[in-house]
Structure 1
Amino acid sequence: MHPDIRKVTKHEELSDAHRVRRNVFIKEQGVSEQDEHDAFEDQATHIVGYFDGEPFAAARLRFIEDYAKLERICVEKAHRGNSFGKQIIHYMETVIKDEGYSRAKLNSQTHAEGFYESLGYRTVSEEFMDAGIPHVTMIKDL
């Protein structure tokens, strides 16, 4: 099963990415609209994933100093368990390398920490709360 994962270049793709994020973070996880849509939206590189023409995944990247920060990574509930999250991370890492960066950082919800460890990320922080959800910071050299 191969999804179509791409950088957002059109307004409708950004709308699709925001819809997926709203479904996962706001509706499913109870994150507030204010926490979900922050001041970095316009600066970020947005990613959207389609399967059979329907949006099912979203993420964003920000390039900060000497690293790239992976953010807002989500897959709709009906599409989890198909390795799509892994494919999105690999796509994001390719974009990071193409932009000339070799370090990646993310704040993982603690329940997903093992997933990111399996992809080579390592935890570098104590647990902290973000939007009412426990997280840890993780990094990877690409």
Structure 2
Amino acid sequence: MFIEEQNVTEEEEHDGLDEVSVHFVGYEDDQPVAAARLRIMDDYGKLERICVLKEHRGLSFGKQMIGTMEERVQKEGRDKAKLNAQTRAETFYESLGYRTTSDEFMDANIPHVTMEKSFR
């Protein structure tokens, strides 16, 4: 899903970190419509590869996915989450309590910013 829509190469997408990540999949009518992965780092949870099928965007799948991932981060004893957001999704993450903590940078030829949320 991400590779095709975002025009990202398979080499960029397959970074070797899937084996050390927790994977999340959201379903509607037994069909996967959203996916993400989470890596538990030393003092935070890193939310990654968050995607929702285009025709299911705006229906709260992303919000639900982030909420579920944040619950897992806290269950793992971390009080902060970080993610690298595409700049076009920055306001979405801001609406969920994330704040931008970096300048814009390019990842897979797509502009991104790092964002964080504290659970304290």
Query: What secondary structure sits across from 1:138 in the alignment?
Result: strand
**Alignment deviations for residues 109-140 of structure 1 (CA, whole Å, 9 cap, x no partner):** 00000000000000000000001100000000
Superposition pairs of residues 46-57 of structure 1, within 5 angstroms: 46-57=23-34
TM-score, length basis structure 1: 0.82
Alpha-carbon distance in structure 1 between the residues aligned to 2:12 and 2:21? 15
Number of residue pairs aligned between Structure 1 and Structure 2 = 119
Alpha-carbon distance in structure 2 between the residues aligned to 1:121 and 1:76? 22
TM-score, length basis structure 2: 0.97
Q: Which among 5, 16, 20 is matched to residue 43 of structure 1? A: 20
Report the RMSD for the aligned CA atoms in angstroms. Answer: 0.6
Please name the residue that 2:114 is paired with.
137
**Alignment deviations for residues 73-108 of structure 1 (CA, whole Å, 9 cap, x no partner):** 000011111011111100101111111111100000
Please name the residue that 1:33 is paired with.
10
Superposition pairs of residues 1-142 of structure 1, within 5 angstroms: 23=1, 25-142=2-119
Alpha-carbon distance in structure 2 between the residues aligned to 1:63 and 1:83? 24
The gaps in structure 1 that reach 5 residues or longer are 1-22
Query: What secondary structure sits across from 1:42 in the alignment?
Result: helix
Amino acid in structure 2 at the alignment position of 1:33: E
Alpha-carbon distance in structure 2 between the residues aligned to 1:92 and 1:33? 24
Percent identical pairs in the alignment equals: 62
Q: CA deviation at 1:54?
A: 0.3
Please name the residue that 1:5 is paired with.
none
Alpha-carbon distance in structure 2 between the residues aligned to 1:45 and 1:66? 16
Please name the residue that 1:15 is paired with.
none
Query: What secondary structure sits across from 1:137 in the alignment?
Result: strand
Alpha-carbon distance in structure 2 between the residues aligned to 1:84 and 1:41? 22
Alpha-carbon distance in structure 1 between the residues aligned to 2:13 and 2:50? 12
